[in-house]
Amino acid sequence: MEANNIICPSCNEEVSRISVYCENCKFPISGTDKEKAIFIGQQTLNKSKIDNSESVVKRTQIILYVVVGFQVLNAFLVYYNFESVIDAVFYLVIGLILGVFAFLLPKKPIVFITCALALILGYYLLLFLANPLLLFSGILWKCVIVMALLYALYTVVESQNIKKKFNL
Ligand SMILES: [Zn+2]
pLDDT in tens, 95-109: 999 999 999 999 999
Q: How much distance in Å is there from the Cα of 7 to the middle of ligand 1? A: 8
What is the DSSP annotation of the chain?
--TTEEE-TTT--EEETT-SS-TTT---TTS-HHHHHHHHHHHHHHHHHHHHHHHHHHHHHHHHHHHHHHHHHHHHHHHHHH--HHHHHHHHHHHHHHHHHHHHTTTSHHHHHHHHHHHHHHHHHHHHHH-HHHHHTTHHHHHHHHHHHHHHHHHHHHHHHHHHHHT-
Q: What is the pLDDT along the chain (168 residues), one digit of tens a residue?
A: 677 899 998 999 999 988 899 999 999 999 999 999 999 999 999 999 999 999 999 999 999 999 999 999 999 998 888 778 888 999 999 999 999 999 999 999 999 999 999 999 999 999 899 888 888 888 999 999 999 999 999 999 999 999 999 888
Q: How much distance in Å is there from the Cα of 48 to the middle of ligand 1? A: 18
Q: How much distance in Å is there from the Cα of 160 to the middle of ligand 1? A: 18
Q: How much distance in Å is there from the Cα of 28 to the middle of ligand 1? A: 9
